[in-house]
Amino acid sequence: METKVYVDGGELWADDTGGEGTPVVLLHPGVADSRVWDPIAPALVDRYRVIRYDARGYGRSPAPTTTYSLAADLRAVLDHFGVRRAVLVGSSMGGGTAINFALDEPDRVAGLALLVPGITGYPDLESPELTARIGELARAGDMDGLVDLSLSSWGTAGTPPDTEAAELVRAAVPAWFTTYGHQAEDPPAFPRLGELAMPCTLLLGEQDMPRTVRCNEAMAAAIPDCVLVRRPDCDHLPTLRAPEAVRELVLDLCARATG
């Protein structure tokens, strides 16, 4: 069921399949909206209650007009749907959100499936050169250039014209700018990864940016008993590149977290 979730100073589009199974919450990356889960969600709904939503400015959620926190918005979504405890499945930006929330409220997180996750507090994760080039293209109003740059940076495993990935990135790009100055960075999480005690699986895409690969390796080493899955066929969009493998990974993590 699609609905609006009211958050501090705004609202989010969300979808809840309902049902009695353990809730599984899908958190999308910053290079796409919640449609990135379309290849994954159908395999989950027969066994679990699946909730997904668009972060502020993405997909069907309005752009923010006030300062907000991604982790606080996740908390608001769980509270809206009356979810006391859930498995969190986060990709990139969504992975970082899941980790920050799990550190804040570990009793509400049954398990973590992290796909090419981002994280706060890790040095050298961002590329100054890439950020500068994005700014140049944005000032020039070059949307095609921004999409091409994104695919050459985060979508190298795709085959041109890589239409599905290009459409998702094109739809996400405006959010990079409408959220700027509004999204508050959550506290550093990397130094606290040793506190995560719930079942965790981390998927690393070997065709992802090298600095992301290094970060993901360090994260998996720092999280106690984390299962690291390396995919040579994946970049920063694993749900598009290896959907069957991602489905099996998520289902396995859910079984470990709820069994």
Q: State yes or no: pLDDT of 9 exceeds 80.
A: yes
The closest alpha carbon to 17, from 108, 62, 81, belongs to 81
The range of the structural domain enclosing residue 149 comes to: 2-258
**Tens digit of each residue's pLDDT (9 = 90 or more) over 106-122:** 999 999 999 999 999 99
Around Cβ 73, how many Cβ atoms within 10 Å?
Answer: 23
Q: Please tell me the total count of domains within the chain.
A: 1
Q: State yes or no: pLDDT of 201 exceeds 80.
A: yes
3-state secondary structure of 141: coil
Q: State yes or no: pLDDT of 259 exceeds 80.
A: no
Q: What is the pTM of this model?
A: 0.97
Per-residue confidence band for 191, with pLDDT thresholds at 50, 70 and 90? very high
Write out the two tokens for 235: 């970049």
Per-residue confidence band for 19, with pLDDT thresholds at 50, 70 and 90? confident
Q: CATH number for the domain including 225? A: 3.40.50.1820
3-state secondary structure of 191: helix
* pLDDT reported for residue 129: 95
**Integer Cα distance of 92 and 259 in angstroms:** 26
Q: Which residue has the tokens 């895409």?
A: 205
As a whole number, the mean pLDDT across the chain is 97
**Integer Cα distance of 196 and 98 in angstroms:** 11
Mean pLDDT of 232-244: 98
Per-residue confidence band for 124, with pLDDT thresholds at 50, 70 and 90? confident
**Tens digit of each residue's pLDDT (9 = 90 or more) over 66-78:** 999 999 999 999 9
